[in-house]
Structure 1
């Protein structure tokens, strides 16, 4: 029997009804902090791999920033497979987890897993383990799916990866495994938010340091910045994976949008930072 995951946060992070969810996604595109236009999804497959950093909070807060990432992706082309690297927020399961077989359910339909590719990635990694427990309560992978489904329906497959360990060693190992096995038209999504629950000025200052090192493709510099300045990026390990992959594949980053929950929602003394960054040749 095919194992099914989700929806974990339907009705919490985004609407649980299909029509309401589509309306909410479209609101994210037209929001004053969104890109201002709907995506025009290209049916032409990507000719080379691309990467995205995209936030994973509730859509009323991070959705407009995520919309910048997915509009950029829609213009780049249709991915042949999507690797989504989430952060283990529950603490359940292995330090670095992957599921090879299954489907993820959202109000917009079911997305299948790319089992063969997932198993090859597992074989190439010293740290990844096949472990479904890590995904049982995890939202950071799920919230990316409706944006993809809004553009291309459910006619794509995913490899979900969940990191409890954010270490540089794990990031390097997983990045190398992806570089070895992913097809040319693959998409990697680093699902992460940036600084958590700091005043607006502090969040901006900290996140500017982190984003500068990302734009410079400096893995060591990025990890040093996170440690030295105590930047509470929940998925910095997934960013590390993407940076390692980008360096191996000669991808260049483009900063698409940065905003905080305070700016998007219009209130809050302590804010969360959200960034959208695209990587391509």
Structure 2
């Protein structure tokens, strides 16, 4: 495969390093996800990005909706945990590699996004150690035989940046059936009852497909979601691409796993954004 290959910094720790073990764990979560496809055309997903053992059972509810698709371009929008910068960093060439193989970047679509604004740049550096997008790949690779990605990391995640990215996504994706995927966990390290109450406010904003309310909430308390900016940008872009309904597929937290600690949890959400108008 031509172009630079971004190798995994987290395989073997955040998820298994063996292809068979990855497939078995992902399939276990998909089988357990009791989910029916919401009505309409799927425009976007919201998906968590913690270690597979913790957030995989929730993420599976979204990725189960992709079963049966032979091919897909997924536009992945996540937060940058390890490198601070302004704007949006696109890894616009080559491929991302996991033990399941290489996932090619849709270079044409990535190039269209980079051309949309001076704050959307081709910069693979923030992607090298970042986990928020890679944690979507085991599901995508397992479910969709031919998948391409456009990997986007947001820096400041402020109101201006979310609007800029949403506008760029709508323009670049015109005529494309690419799927938008926002990668975000919710509140971090509160006791479960407190976390669940905090998360319920974000979940309600998503359910109402109200990115402006969510942005206001994030500005008053950024700790609601580490990937709040990606959620807002994807919700805005999805609405402009015809989405008129959001379905909460699953909510949970890190304490839900066997021997989980409910004294300080991380919240996880899987949601589908759909267009019921055709």
Query: What TM-score results when the alignment is normalised by the length of structure 1?
Result: 0.89
Aligned partner of 1:250 in structure 2 is 242
Q: Please tell me whether residue 64 in structure 1 is matched to residue 70 in structure 2.
A: no
1:115-149 alpha-carbon deviations (Å, 9 max, x no partner): 11111111113421111111110111111011011
1:65–1:257: 8 Å Cα contact kept in structure 2?
A: yes
1:101–1:113: 8 Å Cα contact kept in structure 2?
A: yes
1:139-164 alpha-carbon deviations (Å, 9 max, x no partner): 111110110111123x2211100112
1:79–1:186: 8 Å Cα contact kept in structure 2?
A: no
1:54–1:276: 8 Å Cα contact kept in structure 2?
A: yes
> Is the alpha carbon distance of 1:133 and 1:203 closer, same or farther for their aligned partners in structure 2, counting shifts above 3 Å?
same
1:93–1:133: 8 Å Cα contact kept in structure 2?
A: no
| Distance of 2:53 and 2:258 partners within structure 1 | 7
1:98–1:161: 8 Å Cα contact kept in structure 2?
A: yes
Task: Report the CA distance between 1:80 and its aligned residue.
Answer: 3.6
Q: Please tell me whether residue 163 in structure 1 is matched to residue 157 in structure 2.
A: no
Listed as ranges, the gaps of 5+ residues in structure 2 are none
Aligned partner of 2:93 in structure 1 is 101
SS of 1:110 mapped into structure 2: strand
Deviating beyond 4 angstroms after TM superposition, the runs of 4 or more aligned structure 1 residues are none
Task: Report the CA distance between 1:217 and its aligned residue.
Answer: 2.2
Q: 2:203 aligns with which of 211, 219, 231?
A: 211
Q: Please tell me whether residue 22 in structure 1 is matched to residue 23 in structure 2.
A: yes
Moved more, 94-103 or 140-149: 94-103
2:42–2:272: 8 Å Cα contact kept in structure 1?
A: no
Query: What TM-score results when the alignment is normalised by the length of structure 2?
Result: 0.90
Aligned partner of 1:35 in structure 2 is 33
Task: Report the CA distance between 1:55 and its aligned residue.
Answer: 0.5
| Distance of 2:70 and 2:183 partners within structure 1 | 19
> Is the alpha carbon distance of 1:277 and 1:22 closer, same or farther for their aligned partners in structure 2, counting shifts above 3 Å?
same
Task: Report the CA distance between 1:72 and its aligned residue.
Answer: 2.0
| Distance of 2:193 and 2:219 partners within structure 1 | 19
Listed as ranges, the gaps of 5+ residues in structure 1 are 41-46
Q: Please tell me whether residue 190 in structure 1 is matched to residue 191 in structure 2.
A: no
Task: Report the CA distance between 1:52 and its aligned residue.
Answer: 0.5
Q: 1:274 aligns with which of 263, 268, 273?
A: 268
1:77-116 alpha-carbon deviations (Å, 9 max, x no partner): 5554110012111025554201211111011110111111
1:198–1:272: 8 Å Cα contact kept in structure 2?
A: yes
2:163–2:233: 8 Å Cα contact kept in structure 1?
A: yes
Task: Report the CA distance between 1:29 and its aligned residue.
Answer: 2.5
1:49–1:186: 8 Å Cα contact kept in structure 2?
A: no
| Distance of 1:79 and 1:206 partners within structure 2 | 37
The alignment of Structure 1 onto Structure 2 pairs a total of residues equal to 269
Aligned partner of 1:2 in structure 2 is 3
RMSD: 2.1
2:103–2:147: 8 Å Cα contact kept in structure 1?
A: yes
SS of 2:8 mapped into structure 1: coil
